[in-house]
Amino acid sequence: MKTKDKIILTSVELFNKSGVVAITTNHIAKELGISPGNLYFHFRNKEEIIRHIFKIMCQETYALWHTKKGQKLVHPLVLIEKNFELFWKYRFFHREMYYLRRKDSQLNKMWKLHIAKVLKLMTLMYRRWIKAGWMKMIDNDEETQFVVNVLLATASTFLHFFESADRQPAKRHVENGKIYVARLLIHWTEGQMRQDFEDFIFSTSKKPS
């Protein structure tokens, strides 16, 4: 594995564990067993590392939501599962994005573009689910936008909300997030898809915390 890739992987691990504020480039270099100078050869500062990680996260997110022509349609519950695994993988962003955006104007611009693209991809996916008979037709574009906005807002803020309530970061909060999103989306499901959602919510709710 290239040094640059090792820096990214280690940074994600340290940011998730201790938070962005507590971790410096010296911490990252020490964890990797390299000199700070070696790290700076690849990244000028911590902000550049964070932006690079953000770009990777964005590409992984788009890959989940983008369906190529002729490609098999992804089941909504599978997409929920994969999205929350991705949220957990880069959880420091969801815990600290407000702070990071205020500190780095470039990252703030990247975040706004990312949200706009995700909303567009979600809207397109929902329309495909309607055609598949999985979801109800929504009356107008404004209502569709409302549904998509609520789902994204809930999914992207769940970690901060649940962790701030008990102050004990844990992956069980991912399960809580999945249930909340599924319980929101179930109101627009049709036919067998509604039963799939009911079964998922029941089985996930019964899992030990």
pLDDT in tens, 3-20: 999 999 999 999 999 999
Q: Tell me what pLDDT residue 50 has.
A: 97
Q: Looking at residue 100, which CATH number applies to its domain? A: 1.10.357.10
Residues 93 and 29 in one domain: no
Is the Cβ–Cβ distance between 120 and 145 less than 8 Å? Answer: no
Residues 35 and 57 in one domain: no
Query: Does 150 have pLDDT greater than 80?
Result: yes
Average pLDDT score over the chain: 90
Which DSSP symbol is given to 135? B
Which DSSP symbol is given to 189? B
Residues 148 and 105 in one domain: yes
User: Which one, of 75, 48, 54, 53, lies nearest residue 64 by Cα?
Assistant: 75
**Confidence band for 39, pLDDT divided at 50, 70 and 90:** very high
Helix (H), strand (E) at residue 108: helix 105-131
Residues 103 and 72 in one domain: yes
Query: Does 35 have pLDDT greater than 90?
Result: yes
Query: Does 45 have pLDDT greater than 90?
Result: yes
Helix (H), strand (E) at residue 49: helix 46-65
Q: Which residues pair with 135 in a beta bridge?
A: 189
Q: What is the mean pLDDT of residues 163-171?
A: 64
| Structural domain boundaries, residue 5 | 1-44
Question: What is the distance, to the nearest Å, from the Cα of residue 52 to the centroid of all Cα atoms in its chain?
Answer: 16
Query: Which of 23-32, 54-63, 65-74, 110-119 has the lowest average pLDDT?
Result: 65-74
Q: Which residue type, as a one-letter code, is found at position 47?
A: E
Q: What is the mean pLDDT of residues 166-174?
A: 67
Query: Does 164 have pLDDT greater than 90?
Result: no
Residues 29 and 132 in one domain: no
Residues 82 and 159 in one domain: yes
Residues 188 and 131 in one domain: yes
Residues 146 and 181 in one domain: yes
Query: Does 209 have pLDDT greater than 60?
Result: no
Q: At what angle do helices 25-32 and 3-18 cross, to 10 degrees?
A: 120
Q: Looking at residue 34, which CATH number applies to its domain? A: 1.10.10.60
Residue 69's φ and ψ, nearest 5 degrees, are: -60, 130
Q: How many domains does the chain contain in total?
A: 2
Percent of the chain residues topping a pLDDT of 70: 94
Query: Does 208 have pLDDT greater than 70?
Result: no
Residues 33 and 62 in one domain: no
The secondary structure of 20-35 as a DSSP string is TTT--HHHHHHHHT--
Q: What is the pTM of this model?
A: 0.90
Q: Tell me what pLDDT residue 141 has.
A: 85
Residues 65 and 30 in one domain: no
Residues 30 and 52 in one domain: no
Residues 61 and 94 in one domain: yes
